[in-house]
Amino acid sequence: MRLPKTGTIEVAPSILSADFARLADEINEVASAGVNIIHLDVMDGHFVPNITIGPPVIAKLRKVSNLVFDTHLMISEPAKYAEAFVGAGADHITFHIEVVDEPENLIEKLHELGVTVGICLNPKTPVERIEKVARLCDMVLVMTVEPGFGGQDFIPEAAKKIRRVREIVGPETRVEVDGGIDTQSTPIVVSYGADTIVAGSAIFSKPDRVAAVNAIRESFEF
């Protein structure tokens, strides 16, 4: 599965707020809304103060879903675990610039392993940190909450970085946004140039996930 080409706005549900005892059903439910991407949040209890899933869970999910596995590594040593995540079935791997000294090397390694690559910025990390390497990536992820937990409030100042990121990468690279995204914040981030919209609690805390995905889509169809 490949990340969709640019030119569309994709809603990427994040499983962080899903029922982890029923992950396959949860993913298939949002798939029935026609989403192409599922966002998998990986946390190591070190880079962020929370722990979620790793390669064994992703490998099992791979058997039940054909969605693009957008794997958001909130871990301190992404290079060490890159191959394990690719082997498990990740299609796209995003790592945080805050923990990688030589991002060019990791981007190259991930491309050689056959996945598309994302680079991510925390709310307090300036865009300059990714300026040189952003164009080597297939997607840039702008965090609009401090990573670690679902259901936090959207940080409007962090979202403003999307405009600068879009200027840097141009139209051929996806710009993803993650954190506090709902029907209120989606039109704002889309107007700044985001085209890949991660939403966790705005989808999985609702009883009807298909309706929740559609509500997000309708919020940016000006």
Residues in the site for Zn ion, rule: CB under 5 A?
Answer: 41, 72, 178
Q: Which residue is nearest to Zn ion (CB)?
A: 72
Q: Nearest distance from residue 142's CB to ligand DX5, in Å?
A: 11
Helices then strands, counting H and E runs in the chain, come out as 9, 8
Q: Which of residues 15-44 bind ligand DX5 (CB under 6 A)?
A: 16-17, 39, 41
Closest CA to 121 of 178, 78, 171, 169: 178
Q: Is 45 in the site for ligand DX5 (CB under 6 A)?
A: no
Distances, alpha carbon 172 to alpha carbons 7, 168, 193, in Å: 8, 11, 12
What gap in Å lies between CA 61 and CA 10, rounded to an integer?
A: 21
Tokens matching residue 122: 């925390």
Report the run of H or E that residue 56 belongs to, with start and end. helix 55-62
Is 178 part of the annotated catalytic residue set? yes
Binding mask 142-181 for ligand DX5 (x = CB under 6 A): ---x-xx-xxx-------------------------xxxx
**Residue number with CB closer to ligand DX5 (138 or 178):** 178
Q: Which residue is nearest to ligand DX5 (CB)?
A: 200
**Residue number with CB closer to Zn ion (138 or 178):** 178
What gap in Å lies between CA 89 and CA 63, rounded to an integer?
A: 9
Q: Nearest distance from residue 85's CB to ligand DX5, in Å?
A: 15
Is 41 part of the annotated catalytic residue set? yes
Tokens matching residue 22: 């029923």
Cβ contact 123:147 at 8 Å:
no
Q: What is the DSSP letter of 137?
A: S
Cβ contact 145:156 at 8 Å:
no
Catalytic pick from 25, 41, 153, 195? 41
Q: Nearest distance from residue 131's CB to ligand DX5, in Å?
A: 22
In the complex, which residues of this chain contact ligand DX5 (CB under 6 A)?
14, 16-17, 39, 41, 72, 145, 147-148, 150-152, 178-181, 198-202
Q: State the catalytic residues.
A: 41, 178
